Each structure stands twice: as C-alpha cells, then as structure tokens.
Structure 1
C-alpha cells in the first residue's frame, strides 16, 4: 500500500517542482488556499482550504491516517515584509505541527529556506568564511528569514516531545530553485551571480531530497532527537551551503552540478568579471 502523504501549499511553485515525484510514489492529499498556480493553471486534486480559517477542523480530518505532512504552505505578505505579516507563516507552521501531534502523523517535512541563515552570505562575499552548515546558529536578516528560523525552532520543540507527542521533522532550506539567467545579473556584482550558482538546485535533486526526507528510516540527531535541517542545493562544485549531513544521514546523492549545467554562462560571466 502506498504511503499516505499530505502536501500543504500544493499549488505553489516549490510544490510544482516536487509533486511529479510525489504523485508517482505516494497516496497524496493536496491542500492550498487556491487550486490554481501562479499562471492560472488548475492543479489536479487540490482541496481548497485555509488552515488558519478552518472552523470545522477539516485539516485535522484530512490528517487522520496520514503518515507524512509535507508543509510547503506559505502566505505571501499583503503589505510588504514586516513582523506582523510574517508571523502569519509561523502560525501556519504551528497549526501543522499541532495537528500532526494530535493525529499521530509520523513525520513532517517542512519547506524552509537559506534565508534562515542569510546573514552568513555577507562574510562569504567578503571571503571571510567559505562554508555554512545546517546547525550553525540561525542568522536571518529579513523578516521572511526570521519566520523560517522561528518555525525551525518550533519544529525542534515538537521533535523533542517535551510538550506534546514527539513529531519527527525535517527542515529543508532551499536556496536557488529557479533557472539562473546570466542576463539578470548584467548590472550586478559577479559575486551575486556566483551566489546563485553555488545555491542552485535542480528539479530532480530537489525531488530526491524530499523523497529521501520522507522515507529515511531515521532522522535522529546525535542526541536522539528526530530533527534535521538539510540545505536544498545540488552537488555544486562552487558550494557554500553544506549538504554533508543530508548525504550521510539520508543518502542524498545529487545528480546535478551547476558548474556543468551552466558551464558556458559561467565562463562568460567570469570573463566579464
């Protein structure tokens, strides 16, 4: 019998990248506040549901019998970045964890972002550091990144089981999941382009990372807490975000490298200087 997996934010961009692989492997339940993507195309199988306006507890009903929640849901700020606007996304993650704990969901795989540690890019661009690891202290420099760091911390709390039934969870910090266009960097410093080259993740590598995060037998840390943070990048030669723990713990084996995928563009950009 196929594993039952519920996906929030199923009509969004990131979900659109990973859903093809998830549809092939799992019995999916898809929810989002809309059933159309940004281009207006209908996404098959999405139940329209707002997790923060759910008086009938429909989300809890949908989670009964689900083994894994893949949380990709995100509320785009209506009035620009601010604490108040991004706090909504922390509340959204809290609803996912609370419901998972109440319904015996075995694991949550959360979509986070490198923005939770984005400040480290400053000393990297100054050549003062050359690597950031998943468990380096979170240092967001935007409200968006703060919200992601906040619900990573919330995820650890739920993983410990100190307040509720333990909810094992993985946080995937995606860096650069979109195609990289050299033309977008014409009037920007070269290091900005190289940053995206270092953080690029291909569609198939991102799919693999999600699948392995869902299916890994154990996600325990060194202290036995079922909690991990993985960076969502491919096996890029120019790397800044460490994926060594994902390789070791869940067998993540990226197939792609931005140095190969964008070889001609990189050469041209380096020649430009």
Structure 2
C-alpha cells in the first residue's frame, strides 16, 4: 500500500514511518523545505517530497497516487501567533482533506491531541468528554480542527479517523523527552506538586501502532475519535524517577507547590503577552507545561482497544529505558564530535 505521512521530519512522524516500512508499506514522506529531514532522507526506500499544509498546490502533488494519508503535521506548543496556528491546524487541515478526497484517498488518519479535553481533569476521561479550550492557540486550534473534520465527515463523507495521543515520549525526541532526561540527570529538577498525579505518558511506537490500526480498521470507525495513551496509570513521580533509575542518578525529592508554579506560568504568559512577545520564544513557565507535568490527567483507552485493537506494548520501564539509551548515545556522540573539533582546532 502506498501511504503519505505529513510532518514526517518530526518525532512521531519518523517513528510512524519506521513502523509503516517494517510492515511493507510504500511510504511517501512530506517535509517542509526548512526542516531538518536528514533522518527521513537517509531511508533509501522512502520517497521524500517537499510541501507545507499552508501550500495547497504542494498538497495536491503529495497525495497523488496514495491510498492512505497519516496527518502528523501541525503547529504545536502553547506559545505563538494565533493566525499561524489557525493557518496550519485548521485551514491547512481542511486543504489536506479536500485534496485527498479529490485524489481518491481511501482513509485519512489525523493526529489530534488530548489537549482538546482541557487540562484540569479529575475523573477518568473518555472520548465522550466535552471539548474544553485552554487559553492557548494550540488548544483552541486543535479543537477547531476536530470540529472542522466532524463537519467534513457529515457533509461530504470524508474518510477521516481521529486519534488523540497523550504525552508522547521516546527516542529521537529532542523537543521534550530529551530535555526532561537532561533535567533529571542534572539533579536540579523537581516535582510539580506532590508527584502523585497521573501523567498521560505513551511511548511513541505505541502511538504509531494506534495510528496504523486506525488506518486499517473498517469503515465503522470513520468519524470516530480515539485516545491513545499508555496502559499503566503512571504518576509524575514514577515517570521521572524511572528516568532517574535508567540514568543511575538519585530520585527527585524536591516538591514545588503546583499552585505556585501555575501562577508563575500564568503571570509569565501575561507579561510576555503585554510586552508583545507572542511571536518570540515562550516564557520559562507556561500553564500548559505546568499542567502537563503536574496536573491530574487520567485517560481511558478502552474505545481504542475495543474498536481498533490498540494494545500498548511498552510499559513505562521499557519505554523509558529505550529513550534514555538513545539520549546517552546521542550525548556521547555529541561529546565525541566536540572533542574531535577541539583537536582539529
């Protein structure tokens, strides 16, 4: 089967391509010209095309001749200009679905996010939980994108299935997991609150597995949404201390009150916004980041297990071990490179 992966240069996109190749699919990877796509380009059996969700002509070229589209491309993170998020996560999504339908694509699997449920959760959250937009453009546009897809399914019969991954971690994640490992390794990191809150961690290959199963399932799943999280109920302290164990460093002991950190994040956001820094680097604390680590976020994956056959294969110990092994190897590689440069100098 010939498939297209958008956002192919990203963390999830790269692992999804790995698993699609492993099962024998013919993969076309769409990357933006400005991205570092060295990993994808190193895969000789993957066709790399350049495109952008905001460039409809590039999308038309990308979808030609494929049976399935996995949309991983998105503007992520909680900080930036609203119009940029909307152009990619809503308008670009609409363009992708429209050109895919015109090209005869049989199934579109769209990666949304658990952010559509909101961040202040308590009871076990299922896919029937109402949308709740947090005060950031990522949350708002992910919800808007899902509403758009619901209308396209209803009005035009768009062959779309939505997955909502949790907090993805694993090898090759420099944007999030790598930074968390470095903080734990430093011995200066801390728990946000008591550390007893449930964090929705999920290993990257389990998310890729769920996306593939959403593509393979029968037409009864079209228009449905599925939360993809881990099987275990993992607390913040368990997750971070599992990283510590894999590194061979002491467990985190310092606890900083969640309410103080959340207030600090909100204050920083307001200060940055008042200073006109919406298009600059994000503040050191954001309410999104504080809640992701320190908030209670229990999710049910029963629908995905029942209707897609989704079965997470990585418990947190195995997943973290794989991720930390990558981190240490990458760190060793960087140190070796620096030493060679110093000798040459």
The separation in 2 between residues aligned to 1:21 and 1:35, in whole angstroms, is 25
**Equivalent of 1:173 in 149, 164, 178:** 164
The separation in 1 between residues aligned to 2:305 and 2:50, in whole angstroms, is 36
Give the helix-richer structure, 1 or 2: 2
Q: Name the counterpart of 2:192.
A: 188
Q: Name the counterpart of 2:2.
A: 4
The separation in 2 between residues aligned to 1:30 and 1:203, in whole angstroms, is 18
Report the TM-score when normalising by structure 2: 0.62
Contact 1:86–1:143, Cα closer than 8 Å, also in 2? yes
The structure number with the bigger radius of gyration is: 2
Q: Give the number of the structure with larger relative contact order, counting CA–CA contacts within 8 Å between residues 6 or more apart.
A: 2
SS at match of 2:161: strand
Give 1:234 shift. Answer: 1.6
Q: Name the counterpart of 1:214.
A: 215
Q: How many residues align?
A: 238
Q: CA 1:31 to 1:229, structure 2 compared with 1: closer, same or farther past 3 Å?
A: same
The separation in 2 between residues aligned to 1:12 and 1:260, in whole angstroms, is 22
Contact 1:11–1:34, Cα closer than 8 Å, also in 2? no
Q: What is the aligned-residue RMSD (CA, Å)?
A: 2.7
SS at match of 2:314: coil
Q: CA 1:21 to 1:59, structure 2 compared with 1: closer, same or farther past 3 Å?
A: same
Give 1:190 shift. Answer: 3.2
SS at match of 1:98: helix
Report the TM-score when normalising by structure 1: 0.77
The separation in 1 between residues aligned to 2:51 and 2:205, in whole angstroms, is 28
Q: What's the CA shift string for 1:96-133, capped at 9, x where partnerless? A: 111122122111111111111123xx2x3xxxx32111
Give 1:251 shift. Answer: 0.8
Contact 1:6–1:30, Cα closer than 8 Å, also in 2? yes
Give 1:75 shift. Answer: 3.5
Runs of 5+ in structure 1 lacking a partner?
Answer: 221-225, 264-273
Give 1:188 shift. Answer: 2.2
Q: CA 1:42 to 1:252, structure 2 compared with 1: closer, same or farther past 3 Å?
A: closer
Q: Name the counterpart of 2:255.
A: none
Q: Name the counterpart of 1:21.
A: 19
Give 1:138 shift. Answer: 0.8
1:249 pairs with 2:307: yes
The separation in 2 between residues aligned to 1:172 and 1:59, in whole angstroms, is 21
- Map residues 32-181 of structure 1 onto 2, 5 A cutoff: 32-34=31-33, 36-37=35-36, 41-44=38-41, 45-54=47-56, 57-75=57-75, 80-89=79-88, 90-119=90-119, 122=120, 124=121, 129-141=122-134, 142-160=136-154, 162=155, 164=156, 166-178=157-169, 179=177, 181=181
